């Protein structure tokens, strides 16, 4: 009998959620027994060749490429889970939403403390265009579940994956706070 397939991707973020997934220590051997890893930076497989059972996405959508990758994941994952603060609510990348893209680029490439005044804002067509606003994943595609944290602990991710593979909803070690 075929094992369930698991895919992962990282968008605008720090890759901390993937690092947490690797932090499950010896349980990684159990994960390998439970699932076949599909598209993921962990195995460097870049393209889907079939629909997978569970997809884990970390990071927010900060540029056009992030949106493209997230749409592809949604179409190829039966269940899609936002993992971590960036995917769930924009996290640290969304802090730039207080500024225009132009202001961010000028600060980073022209006026930043490490610039000598001779910088140039990159304009290569190969670079993905930044979005006007960083978006959490649920604002771009339908997300089925969330695993909270920045990053979530390895145990939180591991327990969430195990629950999904058992046909259950993933729990959270954190409570959502009700608005005031």
Question: What is the residue-wise DSSP string for 3-66?
Answer: PPEEEEEE-BS-SHHHHHHHTTTTHHHHHHHH-EE-SBTTTTB-S-SS-EEEEEEESBEEEHHH
Ramachandran sector of residue 61 (left: φ over 0; alpha: ψ -120 to 50; beta: rest): beta
pLDDT of 112: 81
Per-residue pLDDT at 180 exceeds 60: no
> Which domains, ranges and CATH numbers included, belong to the chain?
5-94+132-165 (3.40.50.700)
pTM for the complete prediction?
0.90
pLDDT of 178: 56
Per-residue pLDDT at 119 exceeds 90: no
What are the E-state strand segments in 36-180? Answer: 36-37, 52-58, 61-63, 77-83, 130-135, 145-147
- Indicate the average pLDDT of the chain: 92
pLDDT of 71: 98
Residue 114 confidence class, pLDDT cut points 50, 70, 90 = confident
Mean pLDDT of 23-48: 92
pLDDT of 123: 87
């Amino acid at each position: 009998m075929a094992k369930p397939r698991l895919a992962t991707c990282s968008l605008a973020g720090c890759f901390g959620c993937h690092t947490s997934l690797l932090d499950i220590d010896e349980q990684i051997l159990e994960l390998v027994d439970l699932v076949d890893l599909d598209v993921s930076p962990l195995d460097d497989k870049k393209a889907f060749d079939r629909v997978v059972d569970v997809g884990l996405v970390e990071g927010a959508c900060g540029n056009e490429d992030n949106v493209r990758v997230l749409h592809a994941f949604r179409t190829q994952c039966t269940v899609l889970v936002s993992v971590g603060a960036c995917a769930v609510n924009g996290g640290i990348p969304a802090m730039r939403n207080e500024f225009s893209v132009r202001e961010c680029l000028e600060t980073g490439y022209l006026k930043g403390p490490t610039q000598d005044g001779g910088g140039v804002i990159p304009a290569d067509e190969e670079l993905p265009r930044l979005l006007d606003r960083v978006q959490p994943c649920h604002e771009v595609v339908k997300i089925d579940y969330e695993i909270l944290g920045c990053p979530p602990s390895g145990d939180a991710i591991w327990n969430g994956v195990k629950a999904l593979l058992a046909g259950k909803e993933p729990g959270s070690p954190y409570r959502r706070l009700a608005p005031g």
